[in-house]
């Protein structure tokens, strides 16, 4: 199934940017470990948020083409999911012919256009139960490991940690040799020792699950859904 077909056929929250209403397509039976406070209205970066009935996934894309379409496929099957894009992700999406307008039809979309990463305020108000960074570039992984929060994506990871919200990170550079899809062909890359070490360091972080294959990512997301008693589509 092609990516466009998948976007059209999979269910989940529809939305365009940060101001779309949501249609629940799942039921939460129990929400262990979630904030008790119901999710309320909040206002960020000048765009008022509608009141959400339930917390959501915050799915972050970085400037990585490694299993980008497959990652988006998993995200598009999740209920109640917002997309957070690094500036590099926007460029790379374009190079892989993924249209932002297509994404807006499926997700609320947050772009990296404020120095303060203004949307992270949502994390203080119980809007999110889980952060997924997939795929994560070696650049973003390095920043996560050293506690740097200077992009939208590194900020949501840092703020999630400070709120004890679990994160799943799909790190691209986990093997000495990686066969990966460039925009026009498949290529072999040889991650540096520092890249491999950072992936290992990230495994030791609190509230963090590291996936290094798309299958591991799928399983980690599925495990989180089960923990939350939510079903995907
Ligand atoms: C087509 C394309 C694909 C890329 N894929 C990867 C990748 O798989 N892994 C990676 O670490 N960097 C990749 N990069 C480089 C990142 O986009 C670049 O390091 C960027 O600064 C990362 O920024 P971010 O981590 O804030 O998203 C890619 C760049 C391009 C142009």
Beta bridge partners of 130: 57
- Is CATH 3.40.50.1950 the classification given to domain 56-228? yes
- How confident is the model over 100-149, as pLDDT tens digits? 999 999 999 999 999 999 999 999 989 999 999 999 999 999 999 999 99
Q: Residues 185, 190, 192, CA angle at the centre, nearest 5°? A: 140
Query: How far apart (Å, rounded) are the C-alpha atoms in residues 80 and 101?
Result: 18
Query: How far apart (Å, rounded) are the C-alpha atoms in residues 42 and 44?
Result: 7
Ligand 1 centroid to residue 201 C-alpha, Å: 20
| Nearest alpha carbon, ligand 1 atom 16 | 63
In this model, does residue 91 exceed pLDDT 60? yes
- How confident is the model over 61-83, as pLDDT tens digits? 999 999 999 999 999 999 999 99
Q: Give residue 53's pLDDT band: very low, low, confident or very high (50, 70, 90).
A: low
Ligand 1 centroid to residue 2 C-alpha, Å: 23
Extents of the domains making up the chain: 56-228
The whole-chain average pLDDT of the chain stands at 81
């Amino acid at each position: 199934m092609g990516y466009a077909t998948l976007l059209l056929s999979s269910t989940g929250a529809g939305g365009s940017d940060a101001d779309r209403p949501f249609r629940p397509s799942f039921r939460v039976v129990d929400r262990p470990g979630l904030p008790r406070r119901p999710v309320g209205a909040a206002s960020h970066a000048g765009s008022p948020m509608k009141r959400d009935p339930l917390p959501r996934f915050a799915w972050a894309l970085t400037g990585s083409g490694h299993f980008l379409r497959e990652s988006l496929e998993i995200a598009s099957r999740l209920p109640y999911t917002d997309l957070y894009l690094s500036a590099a992700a926007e460029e790379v999406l374009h190079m892989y012919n993924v249209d932002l307008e297509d994404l807006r039809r499926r997700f609320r979309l947050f772009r990296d256009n404020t120095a303060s990463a203004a949307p992270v305020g949502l994390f203080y108000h119980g809007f999110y139960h889980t952060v997924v960074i997939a795929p994560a570039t070696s650049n973003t992984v390095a920043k996560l490991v050293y506690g740097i929060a200077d992009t939208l994506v590194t900020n949501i990871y840092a703020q999630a940690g400070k709120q004890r919200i679990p994160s799943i990170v799909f790190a691209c550079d986990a093997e000495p040799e990686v066969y990966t899809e460039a925009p026009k062909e498949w290529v072999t890359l040889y991650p540096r020792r520092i890249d491999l070490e950072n992936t290992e360091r990230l495994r030791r972080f609190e509230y963090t699950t590291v996936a290094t294959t798309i299958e591991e990512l799928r399983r980690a997301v599925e495990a989180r859904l089960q923990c939350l008693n939510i079903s995907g589509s």
